[in-house]
Chain A
Amino acid sequence: MSWRAELVAVWAFALRSLLMASRNVFFFFELLFWPVVGVLSIGLMTKFLHLDAPQTSFVLIGTIALSAIQVCELEVSYAVLYDVWSKSMKHQFLAPIGVRHLTTGSWVVGVIRGLLVFVLLAALSRWAFGFDVLAAGAGNLALFLLGCFLTGWVIGVAVCTLIMQFGTRAEASAWASVNLVLVLAGIYYPVSVLPEPAAALAAAVPLTYFLDAYRAHYGFASEFPHAVTTGLALSAAYLALSHWWLVVAIQRARRTGQLLKMSG
């Protein structure tokens, strides 16, 4: 495939995601309602508990990250879920495309939507709770966001894989999996408070390192050396692994007939 054909196929999925997102009302809830409710409720809780400014920042970083990652992850998951819901799965796999087109196109839209959510929540946090996302510096913020969106990509591809393997039974993983990862990555607490086996698992989650590195700029001692490099390396490894797993799941779906079962 030429590079131009590669880009066109990626654009096809990105455009499809954009069109679907712009025409379905439940996307509004994903983009605005739940993230805003999340930040407001957690922010108000920090006031009730009389947390100081660094502690409030610590908790709000986790809350904002949760929303941005979830929106991005869901968009990647939708690459397969749309076809499951509309029973049109076989048509795209009849075309000469690779999983990279499918996931990259939807990830690009996921990043755009994730950024929108992030900007909105950052503004809300600043106005309501005095938390400034730019206090860490623009470069560090960009790295943190990159880490969040790479995490969303990996989880989204893993969800696509589960759906290809188990069909609609795995649909719930689109909403559940990101929460599981965030619990391990220390969304509202440092991973040092996790019990030993969970802490070991947390060390394998890239987001753990991105949260750690970003929070270090708000006065919290870093628990990991070279946190950003480790996070990026783990993300790259998981991206490769999750895409390989998705390829295997699609091959299996072609063998077992799962691909046809998910089509009209």
Chain B
Amino acid sequence: MSAIDARDVVKTFRAGWMRRRVTHALRGVTLRVPRGAIFGLLGPNGAGKTTLLSILATLLTPDRGTVTVLGHDVVRDATVLRHRLNMATGNASFLWSLRAEEIVAFYARLYGLYGRRLSQRVDDLIELCELGAYRRVLYNELSTGIKQRLALAKSLVNDPELLFLDEPTLGLDPDVSVRVRRRIGDLRRERGMTIVLTTHYMREAEELCDEIAFIKGGLILAGGTAAELKRQIAIGDVIVFRLDPPTAAWIAELPGVLRYAESDGRVECVVDDADKRLPALLEALHAEGVVVRDVRVSEPELEEVFVELAR
């Protein structure tokens, strides 16, 4: 059963004088997210990622299309659904004069927690998100990284079945990002949570996500696992040679070679399929008397897929 089943979702924003400025944020998005998966939404700025996430989290209503989340319609059953999901945003903001523990407790109370259960939940989340040293610090005195962890703690107050993370590591130091990513992975593993996240960081998506959808201009252009996306986009495999003599520009003319480049004494070839083309390349180099000192084959980075799709 899917955690999310969205079909032909359309969302248009109107602004300005007589509401004449029109932004087509989503133009017919169809998306399925399996239960228990970590699902990534990738795309350039203004692609519609946050709009889609907000619709799925009941913060926005779609203009057209149907959206079923955890078996409930996001418009009709929004209140029921809100008990079972939550969200954390990368640039989250909370009341400036409340302490970290008070913020967590405030949101926990909105889900009906009180008494010992409330104190226990607050303690657990403070510990889980490593906020112990900051629990009595006012929000406006916290650093960006701590605020981000607090946002994550807040998003877990109702122990949600479905968690939305909008740019969860935005602006964080690399070491903090690594810890946040690890925490996200743990949440899925330990609690079986379905997680939908948006990110600009390809490495984050590749490391965390079971499936990825690439969204641009309000449309999903491609979807699947990171490996499937790379295959779908067909930007080829990369073969890196160290040759003696160090150049062999003529191999750019061989069948299946899409790109040829030289840098730092290495030759880099992008071919349509490394398994198929490598033996022929080696044979051709040998026939021309070129000595192959080293050869490495790699898949393209997800970043290259992103660049290709965003183009």
Closest Cβ–Cβ distance, residue A9 to chain B (whole Å): 6
User: Contact between A4 and B114 (Cβ–Cβ < 8 Å)?
Assistant: yes
Assess whether B93 is interfacial by the CB under 8 Å rule: yes
- Tell me if A169 counts as interface (CB < 8 A to partner B): no
Q: Determine the residue in chain B with the shortest Cβ distance to A254.
A: B61
CA distance A8 to B105 in the complex (A): 11
Contact partner of B59 among A4, A12, A20, A254, CB < 8 A?
A: A254
CB-based contact A257/B60 at 8 Å: yes
Contact in complex: B59, A88 (CB < 8 Å): no
Determine the residue in chain B with the shortest Cβ distance to A16.
Answer: B106
In the complex, whether B188 has a CB less than 8 A from a CB of chain A is no
- CB within 8 Å of A: which of B44-77? 50-51, 54, 57-61
Within 8 A of A (CB), among B105-161: 106-107, 109-114, 138, 154, 158
Q: Is B298 an interface residue (CB 8 A)?
A: no
- Indicate if A229 sits at the interface (CB-CB under 8 A): no
Q: Which of B34-42, B83-91, B241-249 contacts A (4 or more CB under 8 A)?
A: B83-91
Q: Does B263 contact A (CB under 8 A)?
A: no
Least CB distance from A154 to B in Å reads 24
Q: Separation in Å of the B14 CB from the closest CB of chain A?
A: 8
In the docked arrangement, what's the CA distance between A256 and B11, Å? 10
Chain A, Cβ-Cβ closest to B19: A256
Say which residue of A91, A251, A256 sits within 8 Å of B107 (CB atoms): A91
- Which residues does chain B contribute within 8 Å of A86, judged by CB atoms? 93-96
Contact indicator A15/B106 (Cβ below 8 Å)? yes
Contacts of B96 in A (CB 8 A): 85-86
Which residue of the partner chain A has the closest CB to B91? A264
- B80: which A residues are within 8 A, CB to CB? 96
Count contacts between A and B, CB distance < 8 Å.
97
A256 touches B13 (CB 8 A): yes
Return the contact of B109 from the options A11, A257, A259, A263 (Cβ within 8 A): A11
**Contact between A95 and B91, CB atoms less than 8 A apart:** no
A12 touches B110 (CB 8 A): yes
CB-nearest residue of chain A to B75: A254
The yes or no answer to A82 lying at the interface (CB within 8 A) is yes
Tell me, yes or no, whether A255 is within 8 Å of chain B by CB. yes
The reply to whether A91 and B94 form a contact with Cβ atoms under 8 Å apart is yes
A264 contacts which of B14, B86, B93, B98 (Cβ < 8 Å)?
B93
Q: In the complex, what distance in Å separates the CA atom of A96 from the CA atom of B79? A: 5
Closest residue on chain B to residue A252 by CB atoms: B61
CA–CA, A9 and B111, complex, Å: 7
- Indicate if B281 sits at the interface (CB-CB under 8 A): no
Question: What residues of B have a CB within 8 angstroms of the CB of A93 in the complex?
Answer: 59
Give A31 Cβ to nearest chain B Cβ, in Å: 16
Would you call A226 an interface residue if the criterion is a C-beta within 8 Å of the partner chain's C-beta atoms? no
For window 64-107 of A, CB contacts with B under 8 Å fall at: 82-83, 85-88, 90-97, 101
User: Do B110 and A95 touch across chains, with their CB atoms under 8 A apart?
Assistant: yes
Complex contacts, A8 vs chain B, CB 8 Å: 109, 112-114
Q: Can you sample 17 A-B contacts with CB below 8 Å?
A: A4-B112, A5-B112, A9-B110, A12-B110, A15-B109, A20-B98, A24-B97, A85-B96, A86-B95, A88-B94, A91-B94, A91-B154, A94-B57, A94-B85, A255-B61, A257-B51, A259-B60
Give A contacts to B, CB under 8 Å. Answer: 1-2, 4-5, 8-9, 11-12, 15-16, 19-20, 23-24, 82-83, 85-88, 90-97, 101, 251, 254-257, 259-260, 263-264
The 9 closest A-B pairs by CB, nearest first: A12-B109, A264-B93, A5-B112, A95-B110, A96-B82, A23-B97, A87-B93, A8-B114, A86-B95
